[in-house]
Amino acid sequence: MSIADCCRRAVAFTRDTMRQPVTARNDLRFPDLAFFLRFARPIRNVGVLALAATVLVSAAKTVLPLSIKFFIDNILLGGTETSDALLAGAGGLLSSLDTLIAALLVLGLFTGGMDLLRNYWTARFREGYAFNLQTALVEHVLDFPLSYFKSQQTGYIMSRLSDDVQILQYTVSQYLPLIVANGLYVTFTLAILCILSLKLTLVIAAFIPLYLLINAVFIRRIRAATHRERERQAYVSRDIQEVISGIDTVKTHAAEEREVTRVSGTLARMVDARIRNTMLSALSEYFRIGTMSLMLIAVFWVGGSEVLAGGMTVGDFVTFAVYVVTFAPTVNTFFAFPVVMQPAATSAARLRELFSMDGEPAGGGVVPAAVLGRIELSSVWFRYTESEPVLADANLVIHPGEVIAIVGRTGAGKTTMINLLLRAFAPQEGTITLDGRDLASLDPRWLRRQVSLVSQDIFLFHTTIEENIRYSRPGATFEEIVKAARKAQIHDEIMRFPEGYRTIVGERGTQLSVGQRQRVAIARAFLKDAPILILDEPTSALDMQTEEQICRTLRLLVRNRTTILITHRPSLLTIADRVVAIEDGRVREQQGTDLPPEPDTGRIRRSGQSAAT
């Protein structure tokens, strides 16, 4: 591509960037800003100390350039008078070079020491604020219903929880202290400039509307571009997390190139959004620097004319010029603040969106004194989309202490029924009751504490085997953990590991075999000892011998508790008191299953029954 083509593409890209929609959804409003102040309340004393130190440091830095006036007018030129009484009095005290040098040393030591304290208190405030914000956010998100997590991908949620908080934290740690310091410096400097020359100060003030105009042009465009960038960055995190989580599938299908192409496409869209955002910021900075240059030219022109006409002393003008040279970048940063704050405002709006989402009621539902275990589905309808319902007028009664097996083809609605029982979703029509109480009226956390679930989709935390089993009952003793592991037929294998129960299982339990992970999950259910037990293909990854051992143990586990068993394994079906099938969204009763597990003829009959269902 030629240089001319590159230039034409750059101009077209810039023009297109400036034509972007200027309306950003989820704009941050004043009540939202007030909402985020709540996280600063526990550390407000540290914030006050940081602010006070900032005021003192800014004041000290503002006074420092005045030493140039005293040096020129009072020492070099022998005490030129000034029209301001305050400056004249200070000039009298600093009329000797030794006194001026001593004052500068004291001022430097004070400024340096106070600046160290300011940095310390600012860091404490920054980290405390980020801690309070992220803790509250994680607590709030964990209260979301299970349906939210089942409908969103993990990488997208992680981006919302981490990236936006980091951007807001960076803003609190970098831009807010900077804008406070610059604001104070601008205020103090303007006061001194008015004393030195009101006429030149008015020249500076004349350029403020131009800064405001630049901000008005760019702020909403940058906010919209930043929102697009954040969303596309979340999509990149989502896709990468999905590829890493499914790396076994990617490798076995030799799909590396395919996944790279998919991720690179998402990444390219994010890069395009990031470039557009960068271009908008660069253009706004270009116009602000141009305004600052015009302001400096105007000051030198008017100020130089004043000195030549005798309206200002050389010391006053040199001091004014030094203030303007240091003041102009500060003013530029001050007026750039609304623009550079747009990424933080976008992140804050996205975080506010999460905080505004309703979670499950914590402690707001009924908490019965005891659980009998009677579960009833009455005319339950449920669909995920506008397509065919997964459950259509489903009716089922499970009596206390009964073991019921649920069979049906893949996608028939077996797992959906379990999710409804756990209140991951709510039925669109009909009711589900526990001991005569609608599940919607019960405290969801209490409800889930009454259920032990062994799912075929096993999740183990990246910690020890002991802690993974203890997860269902944090107060359990080590002896109780070992007892549960023995019942799950996993104790002997655990003891063969060099670290025994302290063996780290790896992320999602990858250091264990599938069968070992399944038995650890079964041990976790044994330890919980809840009155309701749900077994979703609990032996799908076990060999025949281990399955026979687990079946004998499960017969003990299901005693005196309501059990829902989802399986097609013949040996497990013999545990059930009855079998029901889900067909076309409806629950249909099958014949009883009170057949002896032995001999093999019983197994053949049960296998045939399973096939029929």
Does the residue 406 lie in any domain? yes
Q: What are phi and psi of 540, to 5 degrees?
A: -65, -25
| Average pLDDT of the segment spanning 599-610 | 32
Q: What is the pLDDT of residues 149-203, one digit of tens each?
A: 766 666 667 766 777 777 776 666 666 677 777 777 778 777 877 877 788 888 8
Selected residue with higher pLDDT from 432 and 300: 432
CATH number at residue 267: 1.20.1560.10
Same domain, 126 and 209: yes
pLDDT in the model for residue 335: 65
Q: 534 and 504, same structural domain? A: no
Do 302 and 333 reside in the same domain of the chain?
yes
404 and 509: one domain? no
Per-residue model confidence (pLDDT) at position 528 = 87
Whether 344 and 439 share a structural domain: no
Which of 303, 325, 356 is the endpoint of a domain?
Answer: 356
Contact (CB, 8 A) for 347 and 160: no
Give the helix/strand (H/E) hosting 564.
strand 562-566
Beta bridge partners, 533, equal 452, 563
Which letter, b or e, does each residue of 268-303 get, where b requires 16 or more Cβ atoms within 10 Å of its Cβ? ebbeebbebbebbbebbbebbeebbeebbebbeeeb
8 assigned to some structural domain: no
Measured CA to CA, the distance from residue 85 to residue 520 in angstroms comes to: 84
Closest CA to 133 of 105, 173, 93, 102: 173
- In this structure, the strands spanning 562-566 and 375-382 are unpaired
The SS3 call for residue 587 is strand
* pLDDT: which is higher, 514 or 607: 514
- pLDDT for 68 equals 67
Number of domains in the chain: 3
The domain that holds 370 is classified in CATH as 3.40.50.300
d(CA 575, CA 571): 8
What one-letter code names the amino acid at 456? Q
Which of 479, 511, 527 delimits the end of a domain?
Answer: 527
Query: Would you tell me the crossing angle of helices 44-63 and 97-142 to the nearest 10 degrees?
Result: 150
Shared domain check, 553 and 432? yes
Do 328 and 468 fall into the same domain?
A: no
What distance in Å separates the CA atoms of residue 208 and residue 205, rounded to the nearest whole number?
A: 5
Confidence band of 24 (pLDDT split at 50, 70, 90): very low
Give the pLDDT confidence score for residue 345 in this predicted structure: 72
Strand 562-566, strand 403-407: pairing: parallel
Does residue 407 lie within any of the structural domains? yes
Tokens coding 214 = 């630049």
Residue 207 dihedral angles phi and psi, to the nearest 5° = -90, -10
pLDDT at 503 over 80: yes
Amino acid 552: pLDDT: 75
Whether the predicted model's global pTM rises above the 0.85 cut = no
Model confidence at 83: pLDDT above 50: no
Which of these three, 327, 356, 385, is where a domain ends?
356
Whether 20 is in a domain gets the answer no
- Do 380 and 405 have their domain in common? yes
Q: 264 and 413 in one domain?
A: no
**Predicted local distance difference test score (pLDDT) of residue 605:** 29
Residue 11 resides in a domain: no
Taking CA atoms, 208 is separated from 180, 205, 334, 336, in Å, by 18, 5, 11, 12
Beta bridge partners of 396: 377
216 alpha-carbon distance from chain centroid: 30
Whether residue 534 sits in one domain with residue 523: no
Question: Would 235 be classed as within a structural domain?
Answer: yes
Tracing tokens 């590159």 back to the chain, one arrives at: 6
253 pLDDT more than 70: no
User: pLDDT class for 41, splitting at 50, 70, 90?
Assistant: confident
Residue at 23 is within a domain: no
Does 423 share its domain with 518? no
At 542 the pLDDT is 66
* Residue 268 in domain: yes
Q: Same domain for 521 and 536?
A: no
Residue 76 is given by DSSP the state I
pLDDT for 593 equals 43
Q: What are phi and psi of 590, to 5 degrees?
A: -110, 180
Domain that holds residue 166: 30-356
pLDDT(607) > 70: no
* The pLDDT of residue 482: 92
